[in-house]
């Protein structure tokens, strides 16, 4: 039995320190049995070898990062992205991931039609539903903070994610990922989490640092910032989510520079009271 049954660590948290072959045994040594896997790291290891490694260490794979990025208006690029997503779905099935973390994609350089970008991403998602269903893979829509709307995701709010999910009419395939760092500021958060209900397929935690130094790469450890993470956890649990809390910290100048054992010890210490 794990000492931390509801704790998962997203591989991005130790992105600079560990390969997949390194992080999996390291987490097991720390009695942590949840991990979210990044595609570049899985490919580096080899998909079959990575899947075996995860099974050997009894890991629950709480997400496969990242799918989607389908907002490009260029038909050739769009088709290539769709093909890429089909491989991502196969790989997610191979490692038994609880979802593919699905990002809409941002605005391509020179493009200003944000409504068209949103329609494109939604269209792309709809085209992947048959493959995802056949593979038994959930596509977890993750709205990102509006500050990365141009670069990463034209889907910014829980409401928009819920609206897309309703339009797609594929409740068995399309889930919702709640990431505290992305949605904590939203005045409609509690009602939209309740609306997502059992569709919530992953819960990512990181804190917002008041004097953040980077739009993406300066996330805080739970407890170090302004987000009431336990409150948001209570909201997702009240909505019906009973899965792990996945610590996902992109932190170029702080956590990525620390010793991995130290990072994991701090995560475990914060687990009970700060997330």
Min separation Cβ 79 and Zn ion, Å: 27
Which of helix, strand or coil describes residue 7? strand
**Omega prior to 66 cis, within 30 of 0:** yes
The DSSP-derived string for 183-236 is HTT-TTHHHHHHHHGGGEEEEEE-B--TT---SSSBPBPTTSSS--HHHHHHHH
Q: Which residues pair with 101 in a beta bridge?
A: 65, 140
Strand partners of residue 60: 34
Q: How far is the CB of 204 from Zn ion (least distance, A)?
A: 4
From the CB of 178, what's the least distance to Zn ion, in Å?
A: 9
Q: HSE-up of 102 (CA within 13 Å, CB side)?
A: 35
For Zn ion, the closer of residues 116 and 212 by Cβ is 212
Q: How far apart are CA 25 and CA 84, in angstroms?
A: 29
d(CA 27, CA 151): 31
Residue 41 or 204: the one with the smaller Cβ distance to Zn ion is 204
Return the number of the residue (224 or 248) whose C-beta is nearest Zn ion: 248
Smallest gap, in angstroms, from Cβ of residue 136 to Zn ion?
A: 22
**By C-beta, is 91 or 248 nearer to Zn ion?**
248
Give the footprint of Zn ion on this chain (CB under 5 A): 179, 204, 248
C-alpha 105, offset from chain centre: 14
Q: For residues 78 and 189, which CB has a smaller minimum distance to Zn ion in the complex? A: 189
Smallest gap from residue 2 Cβ to Zn ion (A)? 22
Nearer to Zn ion, 72 or 179 (CB): 179
Select 78 or 270, whichever has its Cβ closest to Zn ion.
270
Instruction: Indicate the SS3 state at residue 78.
Output: helix
Give me the least distance between CB of 28 and Zn ion, in Å please: 23
DSSP 145-176: -GGGTTTTBS---HHHHHHHHHHHT-TTTEEE
Beta carbon of residue 140, minimum distance to Zn ion (angstroms, whole number): 9
Q: How far is the CB of 161 from Zn ion (least distance, A)?
A: 12
Nearer to Zn ion, 14 or 78 (CB): 14
Confirm if 213 and 165 have CB atoms less than 8 A apart: no
* DSSP letter, residue 69: -
**Which of 179, 172, 177, 178 lies closest to 137, judged by CA?**
172
């Amino acid at each position: 039995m794990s000492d931390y049954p509801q704790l998962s660590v997203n591989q991005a948290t130790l992105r600079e320190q560990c390969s997949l072959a390194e992080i999996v045994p390291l987490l097991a040594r720390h009695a942590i049995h949840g991990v979210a896997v990044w595609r570049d790291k899985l490919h580096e290891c080899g998909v079959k070898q990575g899947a075996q490694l995860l099974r050997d260490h009894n890991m629950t794979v709480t997400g496969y990062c990242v799918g989607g990025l389908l907002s490009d208006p260029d038909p050739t690029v769009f088709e290539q992205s769709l093909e890429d997503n089909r491989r991502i779905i196969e790989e997610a099935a191979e490692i038994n991931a609880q979802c593919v973390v699905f990002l809409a994609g941002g605005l391509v350089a020179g493009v200003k039609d944000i409504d068209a970008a949103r329609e494109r991403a939604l269209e792309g998602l709809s085209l992947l539903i048959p493959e995802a269903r056949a593979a038994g893979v959930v596509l977890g829509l993750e709205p990102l903070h509006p500050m990365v709307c141009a670069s990463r995701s034209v889907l910014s709010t829980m409401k928009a994610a819920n609206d897309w999910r309703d339009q797609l009419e594929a409740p068995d395939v399309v889930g919702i990922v709640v990431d505290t760092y992305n949605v904590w500021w939203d005045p409609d958060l509690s009602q939209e989490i309740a609306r997502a209900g059992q569709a919530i397929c992953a819960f990512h935690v990181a804190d917002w640092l008041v004097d953040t130094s980077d739009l993406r790469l300066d996330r805080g450890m739970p407890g170090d910032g302004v987000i009431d993470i336990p409150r948001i956890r209570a909201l997702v649990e009240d909505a019906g989510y009973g899965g792990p809390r996945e610590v996902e910290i992109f932190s170029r100048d702080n956590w990525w520079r620390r010793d991995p054992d130290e990072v994991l010890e701090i995560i475990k210490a914060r687990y009970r009271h700060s997330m």
